[in-house]
Structure 1
Amino acid sequence: MPRTLTSLLLLAGALILGLAVQPVVTMMLFSAVEPKPVEARGDLSAFERSSTAVFEAVAPSVVQVVALPRGMSLGDASRSQGVGSGTGFVWDQAGHIVTNNHVVENAGSVVVRFASGKTVPARIVGTARNYDLAVLRVSAAADLPKAVSVGTIEGLKVGQISYAIGNPFGLDQSLTMGIISALKRRLPTSGGREVANVIQTDAAINPGNSGGPLLDSAGRLIGVNTAIFSPSGTNAGIGFAIPVDTVNRVVPSLINDGRVPTPGIGIVAADDAVAAQLGLVGLVVAAVVPGSPAERAGIRGIDEQAGSIGDVIVEADGKQVRQLTDLTDRLEEVGVSGELSLTLEGSGGRRTVRVAAVDIGNR
């Protein structure tokens, strides 16, 4: 019995000793004290190859746009935290860069930094507040990367992949990816109008991305990133881009004339709430500009002395008008010097008039 007990005690001691030294032995035998060999990986997936190809093809054409306040030099800007910056992209080999109007709206001067690190001064060629677009020009045209390929919104579908390249928070050459989450949104601009057919995407768009390209999976431009919807000011999964078809119409006008003709008929529209309060369906004409096409067509505004409503626009070229954007959309389609047929309802009953669209200025 004592011998058995002794054996058990020795065995238990050996086990305890083994447990005690096991970590040390493991450390000595199995520690990776040399750099580990690199494991070979297979090919990228087709999806990864597509994403990297889009970035590699377009990123060199995307630039950072730095708007300097009046009296500030580029050297001062490098030491300042208050300098605004956004994104832009190469439009053509003549040196034109497209960005958002709000990026450069209050700038005293503008500089552009390319993906190569080269920084050059830029001149503002033209701005369009109604579309939140601006065109810059740099002089180093010979050294420019290629222009971004232009696509169209025709055929776009909710659920398609979308890519945004930009400079969020000043961090250059950032790629984010998402889907087109909605189409035909409307976006108010500082010019007092709304851009129609705006693209909504959940690709991350943060401050600094403004003016950058929104791309489809073929690397074509489908929009210009312009805004996010977020109480905090950072990405919350809802971003907006000006549709490329609008961009492709506005930018050549800015390059040629420095401005974009704004078609109008010379009316002041009442707030949409006025029609709702009166139980009317249509656009209430609050006033008519003297000498305007609207006045010549006999359109009447509100008569405050008589306390009567004038005309209510209910259709434009046969399409229902419920609010101002319905009319401005149609005006954009016919353009300056075009004509449209307006159906009106007023004290004299329902009638139709032909009205010419004229340039009411680039606000």
Structure 2
Amino acid sequence: MNLLRTLARACARHVPLALPATLAALAALLAAPLMTDPAGAADAQPRAVSPRGALLPDEAAVVRLFEETAPSVAYITTETVQRNALGGAEVSQGAGSGFVWDSAGHVVTNYHVIDGARRVFVQLDAGKPIEAEPVGGAPEYDLAVIRLKTLPRGLRPVPLGSSRDLRIGQTVYAIGNPFGLQRTLTKGLVSALDRELPTANFREVVGVIQTDAAINPGNSGGPLLDSAGRLIGVNSAIRSASGSSSGIGFAIPADLVNRVVPALISKGHAPLPGIGVTPVRPDLVARAGITGVVLAEVGRGTPAAQAGLVAMNRRTGDLGDVITAVNGRAVESLSDFVVELERAGVDTQVELTVKRGERERRVRVRVIDLRE
């Protein structure tokens, strides 16, 4: 209370006597003890945590799936040289996802993730980025393989599953690096099967998996897993007006991946099914109101030539043979034709429905690898 008396005397010397009420209020304020919250907040302690108990079986399974797979999912960054408006060179960076294919350090990703890159780096789990070199690419399937220049210890391939026996409604999981956010897990369903995904050179990937698991820019090239943690697809694209996930994502099926990737590793390229013809540009065919594949050229000694197919006559303008179906499935465009050859595969026989003028016939043709 000595402090209070001192303050009161000081106020009395400097404050006019006309303010006794003010002085009284000040003295009362100073004399009042430091008040605490009526509920005793000053003495509050952190609340006790309620025991969680064991995770539900489904939760534990997903946690285990992520912990076992995430270390094998790659965060891929690229450096690409581009020309600017002034004619100078600029280095731009890109990012995507991938996954470990084998213990030799091969990593699978989308072709568009590394297309045109001068340098590629791979980061696994929490490790440092490792430079990688391209091994092979297949723009027709949007798949590519790169190889780590330095092999880290404990490299684990993602277990391989099958896409052949997938069913709509199955639970699936995507792991990747959307927007650069590493090791992101999303969950969804198989929304549809046997979709077609346009890629390059009028080609389409067939048997594509549609999922509502969130897939965003940066997820490209990452694995799509089933509930057993097996690879069933490679996340490749989304369909969205905004460029972000809208519940429609697409993945290249694992059975196709398992055919293409070994070829990329051993040969640097994937088989390109064909019969030895050069088609007329689809836009010109559509403009002319023609349905089917018009043949601009038929290569000598090719299966198409052996089957008696005839190309259009450039001098007279006669169409020659127009392919309208493959194995009984209608072919309305070049994309349809390519899809059917992909479906059949290399070293198989297909039956073509061919129209020349008003005459229609069926011929059998062998499908070959155009790259050999």
Normalised by the size of structure 1, how large is the TM-score? 0.82
Identify the match of residue 132 of structure 1 among 117, 126, 142.
142
- Match of 1:194? 204
- Match of 1:250? 260
In 2: Cα distance, 1:45 partner to 1:102 partner: 39
Percent identity of equivalent pairs: 47
* 8 Å Cα contact 2:211/2:247 also seen in 1: yes
The Cα shift of 1:271 comes to 2.8
- Match of 2:29? none
2:220 corresponds to 1:210: yes
- Match of 1:285? 294
Partner amino acid, structure 1, of 2:129: T
* 8 Å Cα contact 1:59/1:165 also seen in 2: yes
Q: Deviations over 1:290-345 (max 9, x none)?
A: 42432343223344554443323233234443443443234234444443232212
Residues 1:277 and 1:140: Cα distance change in structure 2 (over 3 Å): same
In 1: Cα distance, 2:141 partner to 2:149 partner: 25
Structure 2 unmatched runs, 5+: 1-34, 83-89
Identify the match of residue 355 of structure 1 among 365, 368, 371.
365
Normalised by the size of structure 2, how large is the TM-score? 0.80
Identify the match of residue 342 of structure 2 among 312, 332, 335.
332
Over the residues paired in the alignment, what is the CA RMSD in angstroms? 2.7
2:240 corresponds to 1:230: yes
Q: Deviations over 1:182-239 (max 9, x none)?
A: 1111101134310001111111111111100011111111110111111221111111
In 2: Cα distance, 1:115 partner to 1:192 partner: 37
Structure 1 unmatched runs, 5+: 1-23, 72-79
In 1: Cα distance, 2:342 partner to 2:43 partner: 69
Residues 1:177 and 1:61: Cα distance change in structure 2 (over 3 Å): same
In 1: Cα distance, 2:91 partner to 2:219 partner: 17
Q: Deviations over 1:65-123 (max 9, x none)?
A: 1111259xxxxxxxx99410100100010111000110101100111111122221111
Larger Rg: 2
Residues 1:269 and 1:186: Cα distance change in structure 2 (over 3 Å): farther
The Cα shift of 1:160 comes to 1.3
Identify the match of residue 72 of structure 2 among 53, 57, 61.
61
- Match of 2:15? none
Q: Deviations over 1:107-152 (max 9, x none)?
A: 0011111112222111111010000000011133351431111111
Find the residue that maps to 1:181 and give its secondary structure.
strand
In 2: Cα distance, 1:184 partner to 1:339 partner: 22
In 2: Cα distance, 1:62 partner to 1:145 partner: 11
Q: Deviations over 1:235-270 (max 9, x none)?
A: 111111111111000000001011112121133055
The Cα shift of 1:288 comes to 2.1
The Cα shift of 1:36 comes to 1.6
* 8 Å Cα contact 2:170/2:190 also seen in 1: yes
- Match of 1:157? 167
Residues 1:52 and 1:269: Cα distance change in structure 2 (over 3 Å): farther
In 2: Cα distance, 1:264 partner to 1:209 partner: 32
- Match of 1:342? 352
Residues 1:69 and 1:320: Cα distance change in structure 2 (over 3 Å): closer
2:36 corresponds to 1:38: no
The Cα shift of 1:277 comes to 7.0
Residue correspondences, number: 329
The Cα shift of 1:157 comes to 1.5
Any residues of structure 2 matched to 1:114-129 within 5 Å, and which? 114-129=124-139
Find the residue that maps to 1:69 and give its secondary structure.
strand
